[in-house]
């Protein structure tokens, strides 16, 4: 038996009004003419387990999607927090460029319970001021009784971006930051 649950509403993504014309022209410029860069932060809920009398453990995949068809963005930090709000892990050691329509994924293994039932990610990114917001989701998958459970949770962009420097001041437990538990970069 497989259960699939989803939480949240899909954000509106503007549809193209005209089909794209195929041509041999140069690709569009990577940065819009405005040249203004804007920093943003996305909060994404996650669940490393849910306690139903006994814990049901989940693997977590954080999917970060650049839905803009023409503007690249830069992920400046991806941090994983536990139920108490303490940073457990930092996934990027350096900024990572995300091309138009590209996706980055980061994972937490099933047996890694460090995040708890109130775990979350903060995704720090920057891009052109007119770039579409990122689509960020976590996908949780685990075994419950004789079947599997899978569900998603959608991220929300915070009204004011958090400074990456403030996040860097959090302490990270050396035991929870081992390379074996880090996701793909």
Buried b / exposed e across 32-61, counting CB within 10 Å, b at 16+?
beeeeeeebbbebbbbbbbeeeeebbbbbb
Flag whether 76 is in a domain: yes
Q: Rg (Cα) of the chain, in Å, rounded? A: 18
In the structure, what pLDDT confidence band is assigned to residue 1 with cuts at 50, 70 and 90?
Answer: very low
Flag whether 142 is in a domain: yes
Any idea what the CATH number is for the domain that residue 87 is in?
2.60.290
pLDDT in tens, 150-174: 999 999 999 776 665 444 444 444 3
Flag whether 20 is in a domain: no
pLDDT(46) > 80: yes
- pLDDT for the residue 33: 46
Flag whether 176 is in a domain: no
Instruction: State the pTM of this model.
Output: 0.70
- From the list 119, 156, 151, the residue with the least C-alpha distance to 135 is 156
Structural domain range at position 152: 34-166
pLDDT in tens, 51-82: 877 888 999 999 999 999 999 999 999 999 99
The answer to whether the CB of 91 falls within 8 A of the CB of 80 is yes
Strands (E), the chain: 2-6, 37-45, 49-51, 55-57, 59-65, 73-81, 87-90, 96-98, 103-108, 120-128, 135-144, 147-154, 156-157
């Amino acid at each position: 038996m497989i259960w699939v649950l989803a939480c949240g509403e899909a954000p509106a993504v503007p549809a193209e009004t005209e089909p794209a014309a195929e041509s041999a022209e140069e690709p569009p410029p990577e940065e819009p003419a405005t040249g203004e860069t804007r920093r943003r932060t996305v909060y994404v809920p996650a669940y490393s387990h849910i306690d139903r009398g006994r814990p049901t453990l989940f693997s977590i995949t954080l999917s970060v999607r650049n839905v803009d068809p023409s503007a690249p963005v830069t992920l400046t930090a991806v941090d994983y927090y536990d139920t108490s709000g303490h940073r457990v892990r930092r996934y990027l050691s350096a900024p990572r460029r995300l091309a138009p329509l590209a996706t980055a994924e980061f994972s937490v293994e099933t047996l890694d319970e460090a995040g708890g039932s109130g775990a979350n990610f903060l995704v720090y990114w920057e891009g052109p001021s007119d770039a579409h917001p990122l689509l960020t989701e976590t996908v949780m998958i685990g075994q419950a009784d004789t079947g599997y459970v899978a569900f998603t949770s959608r991220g929300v962009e915070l009204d004011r971006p958090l400074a990456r420097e403030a996040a860097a001041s959090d302490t990270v437990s050396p035991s929870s930051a081992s390379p074996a538990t880090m996701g793909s970069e």
